[in-house]
Amino acid sequence: MSGHDALERRLGVVGAGKIGTAVARAAVAGGYHVAISGSGAAERIELIVDVLAPGAHAVTTDEVIRYADLIVLAVPMHRFRELPRDLFADKIVADAMNYWEEIDGVDQELTTAPMGTSMIVQERFASSRVVKSLNHLGYFKFEDGRRPPGAPDRLAMATAGDDPAAVAAVIQLLDRLGFDAVDAGPLAAGFVLQPGGPVFGISHSYDGLSKLLLSEASRA
Ligand X SMILES: NC(=O)c1ccc[n+]([C@@H]2O[C@H](COP(=O)([O-])OP(=O)(O)OC[C@H]3O[C@@H](n4cnc5c(N)ncnc54)[C@H](OP(=O)(O)O)[C@@H]3O)[C@@H](O)[C@H]2O)c1
Q: Which residues bind ligand X (CB under 6 A)?
A: 14-20, 37-40, 61, 74-77, 79, 82-83, 96-98, 100, 135, 138-139
Between residues 49 and 171, which has the closer beta carbon with respect to ligand X? 49
Report in angstroms how near the CB of residue 103 gets to ligand X at its nearest.
Answer: 7
Q: Nearest CA to 20 among 3, 45, 2, 1? A: 45
Q: Taking the complex as a whole, how short is the minimal distance between the CB of residue 84 and ligand X, in angstroms?
A: 9
Angle at 102 between CA 194 and CA 142, to 5 degrees: 50
- Locate all alpha helices (DSSP H) within 30-161, ordered by sequence: 43-52, 61-67, 101-104, 108-111, 117-124, 141-144
Residue 57: strand pairing partners = 35
Smallest gap from residue 64 Cβ to ligand X (A): 8
Sign of CA dihedral 193, 153, 173, 55: positive
> Which residue number, 152 or 196, has a Cβ lying nearer to ligand X?
196
Smallest gap from residue 22 Cβ to ligand X (A): 8
In the complex with ligand X, the residue whose CB is nearer, 50 or 215, is 50
Position with the least CB separation from ligand X: 17
Q: Which is nearer to ligand X, 81 or 215 (CB)?
A: 81
Asked if residues 191 and 115 have their Cβ atoms less than 8 Å apart, the reply is: yes
Whichever of 4 and 133 has its CB closer to ligand X, that residue is 133
60 C-beta neighbours (distance < 10 Å), count: 17
Residue 99: CB minimum distance to ligand X, A: 7
CA–chain centroid gap for 196, Å, is 18
Report the largest interatomic distance among the alpha carbons of the chain, rounded to a whole angstrom: 49
